[in-house]
Amino acid sequence: MWKKKVSCLLAVMALCGAMTAGAADYTILEKADKVETTVYGTTQTGSLNERVAALDKLLNGQSTVSGSLQEKTNALYKDVYGNSGSDLSLVAAVNLMQWQYSGQVTEEPILVRVDALEEGIDGKVITGALKGRVQSLRQALLGDTKYVSQSVTIPAGTIVKMKNLEALNSKTAQEGDTVHFAVSEDVVVGDVVAIPRGMEAEGTITNARKSGMFGKDGKIEITYHTVRAADNTPVPLIIGEKTKEEYKRTAGAVGASAAGAIILGPVGLVGGLFVHGNDVDIPVGTEMLAEAKDNTEVMGFRAVGTPDDMRTADMAASGVVVPAYPDAETTEPTHETGYYGDVTPVELGGDSEAEDQNDESEEVVVTITPSDEQVTGDVHE
């Protein structure tokens, strides 16, 4: 009997623990802090009543929410984060517009992002209630195309393709450095966009080594963190089995540069002596891979009434290469293309004479470290 009672008690405790873990159960103050951080970029000062009133005026243009402080805070909290199914939350709507406008969904505060969209679309920042400004932008940018929110589960192991936003080099990389990425292809579940292209992600350099004598190559290892979904839900990322297989497949198909920063350069021989090893040099925009660590429920968005010919238009437009425009440091076109900007391919070779001698004997092999969250590579003769 006692054992049965203990078993029942443990079962109840486990159930309660699961219920607690599944619900955020944020306090009133925590909700206000989160909303302010998302909207302004930081929490505000003053009494909570004053802060909630200021948020209400900013979002709605006047005092519209009523009731207790908890009810007011909950109403604003749901305006910013809540996806009703028939429409998108404020943050999801701004993500949607950046995705459609530029394909770069930034992590800046909503106010900053809305200002930038208005500048780009209208040429000036508009005043008024933030919700009204977002609605006007949606109408101007998307017209009558309606998007609705829909709950989907991103399966564990789903490949997420990303491009690095900063150049990486094993000469200067330091353990602990943060590396920024942007999703390069939409992650779609059914007909729902779960993670839009352009969503930003971060990783940390967990191992960095410069090249050295006797053919010692440079090395960079990166551990990924999370990427935001369409509704800003964080999706944990790892280098899992599917990622490793994809790296092996693409490296064999399109060359060593497919694995970007996680492949080491070849070792060359000159006159029977080892030459200096190669540093890992990864330009901005190199494609890198990770995968969803767990099954993750998110609120994606889905277009309603999208024209049928959009898919065929995308097929045709995919072959158009848009030239890069000059930036502050680049004023001359490259000799190879006449386009502005850096179009140098990834080169993982060392001394040119050494490469000539080893063209027939060297084979680039992607080797994965035992850690599930790290990946590296070697080159074997």
CB 218 within 8 A of CB 277: yes
Give burial (CB, 10 Å; 0-12/13-18/19+) of 22. exposed
User: Which comes out higher in pLDDT, residue 337 or 222?
Assistant: 222
**CA–CA gap between residue 96 and residue 90 (Å, rounded):** 10
User: Helices 28-40 and 110-122, interaxial angle, to 10°?
Assistant: 30
CB atoms within 10 A of CB 148: 16
Q: pLDDT-derived band of residue 103, with 50, 70 and 90 as boundaries?
A: very high
Average pLDDT over residues 194-216: 85
How much is the pLDDT for 247? 80
Residue entry with tokens 């802090």: 33
How much is the pLDDT for 267? 32
pLDDT tens digits, residue range 13-67? Answer: 344 443 333 446 899 999 999 999 999 999 999 999 999 999 999 999 987 878 9
**CA–CA gap between residue 129 and residue 113 (Å, rounded):** 15
What length is written for the chain? Answer: 381
Average pLDDT over residues 301-322: 78
Q: 324 is written with which tokens?
A: 């890069």
pLDDT tens digits, residue range 177-186? Answer: 999 999 999 9
How much is the pLDDT for 206? 87
Q: What is the 3-state secondary structure (H, E, C) of the chain?
A: CHHHHHHHHHHHHHHHHHHHHHCCCCCHHHHHHHHHHHHHCCCCCCCHHHHHHHHHHHHHCCCCCCCCHHHHHHHHHHHHHCCCCCCCCHHHHHHHHHHHHCCCECCCCHHHHHHHHHHHHHCCCCCCCHHHHHHHHHHHHHCCCEEEEEEEEECCCCEEEEEECCCEECCCCCCCCEEEEEECCCEEECCEEEECCCEEEEEEEEEEECCCCCCCCCEEEEEEEEEECCCCCEEEEECCHHHHHHHHHHHHHHCHHHHHHHCCCCCCEECCEECCCCCCEECCCCEEEEEECCCEEEEEEEEECCCCCHHHHHHHHCCCCCCECCCCCCCCCCCCCCCECCCCCCCCCCCHHHHHHHCCCCEEECCCCCCCCCCCCEEEC
The residues that bridge with 112 in the sheet, in sequence order, are none
CB 292 within 8 A of CB 160: yes
Q: 80 is written with which tokens?
A: 């910013």
How much is the pLDDT for 221? 85
Residues 6 or more apart whose Cβ sits within 8 Å of residue 164: 179, 180, 181, 260, 261, 282, 284, 285, 286, 288
How much is the pLDDT for 24? 67
Instruction: Please say whether the dihedral angle defined by the alpha carbons of residues 355, 356, 359 and 360, taken in this order, is positive or negative.
Output: negative
**CA–CA gap between residue 58 and residue 28 (Å, rounded):** 19
Report percent pLDDT > 70 for the chain.
Answer: 70
